[in-house]
């Protein structure tokens, strides 16, 4: 006769997977990866860099030809190597600002924003990360383009009244200021995309603020223009990288402060809507 001894089976346990926490660094890494996975990123950044360098060299070449021929265009008469090199800033700001809108509003148009906010339920870190990542990229593109345009443009206008070097007063500040301005334009574009949640709407408002509103202000009485015009986003931003300033323009420091306030206003509006409304 045999005796069977019953033993209780030990429950099988499945090894638990690693617990991943949502951290600021991981959200930044995610937004960095998403930014560079888009073909539009490479194309638009390339266009922004091309606009900066190409228009800078074209304006320098036109100035040089005017000096050589003795028929200088009045618009170029008081130009310097810095102003000629940064001639393409107004065109580059559109490319970088539009891409900033696409970075945020593009996710709303495709519905991908639902997956993004499901992974980061607190929401606001998504906005801060998108703005920080793209702002940094736009800043680097702006600085690289500005310095490249200046180095080659200075060679073109060498021996003319516009000749300048990096060691001249205000040159380095202007080139760095142009990059900072374009970086903040990218942040404003990203904020407008998150605020309006529409690619077309974000681009329309961006173009209106940077280009159309200054033209409309010029229709006001001159006394009003002097009080309002310096504080517009585009004019305040231009004072950051302008080499010289007239009596109606803001100083570089004041212009930067005003432009930072406009940037904070756009980000604040985007943050409020993101936190208070559904996707």
Do 189 and 205 form a contact (C-beta atoms < 8 A)? no
Burial 116-144 (b: 16+ CB within 10 A, else e): bbeebeeeebbbebbbbbbbebbbebbbe
Shortest CA distance to 132 belongs to which of 98, 93, 169, 103? 103
Distance CA 221, CA 78 (A): 27
Domain ranges of the chain: 24-276
- pLDDT single digits (tens) 52-84: 999 999 999 998 888 877 777 777 778 899 999
Q: pTM for the full model?
A: 0.89
Distance CA 198, CA 195 (A): 8
- pLDDT single digits (tens) 173-206: 999 999 999 999 999 999 999 999 999 999 999 9
Do 138 and 147 form a contact (C-beta atoms < 8 A)? no
pLDDT over threshold 50, residue 6: no
238 contacts: CB under 8 Å, gap ≥ 6:
181, 249, 255
CA distances 82 to 28, 57, 170, 171, 218, Å, are 35, 11, 9, 7, 26
């Amino acid at each position: 006769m045999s005796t069977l001894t019953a033993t209780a089976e030990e429950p099988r346990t499945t090894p638990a997977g690693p617990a991943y926490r949502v951290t600021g660094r991981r959200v930044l890494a995610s937004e960095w990866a998403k930014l560079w996975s888009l073909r539009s990123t490479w194309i638009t950044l390339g266009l922004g860099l091309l606009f900066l360098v190409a228009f800078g060299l074209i304006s320098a070449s036109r100035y040089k030809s005017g000096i050589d021929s003795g028929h200088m265009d009045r618009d170029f008469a008081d130009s310097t190597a810095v102003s000629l090199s940064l001639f393409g800033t107004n065109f580059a700001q559109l490319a970088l600002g539009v891409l900033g809108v696409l970075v945020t509003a593009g996710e709303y148009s495709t519905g991908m924003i639902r997956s993004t906010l499901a992974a980061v339920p607190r929401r606001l870190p998504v906005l801060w990360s998108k703005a920080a990542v793209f702002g940094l990229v736009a800043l680097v593109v702006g600085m690289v383009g500005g310095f490249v345009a200046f180095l080659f443009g200075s060679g073109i206008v060498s021996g003319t009244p516009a000749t300048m070097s990096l060691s001249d007063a205000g040159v380095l500040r202007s080139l760095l200021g142009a990059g900072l301005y374009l970086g903040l334009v990218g942040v404003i574009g990203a904020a407008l995309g998150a605020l309006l949640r529409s690619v077309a709407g974000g681009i329309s408002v961006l173009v209106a603020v940077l280009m159309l509103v200054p033209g409309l202000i010029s229709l006001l009485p001159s006394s009003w223009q002097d009080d309002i015009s310096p504080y517009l986003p585009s004019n305040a931003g231009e004072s950051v990288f302008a080499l010289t300033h007239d009596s109606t323009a803001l100083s570089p420091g004041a212009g930067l402060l005003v432009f930072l306030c406009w940037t904070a206003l756009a980000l604040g509006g985007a943050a409020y809507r993101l936190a208070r409304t559904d996707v």
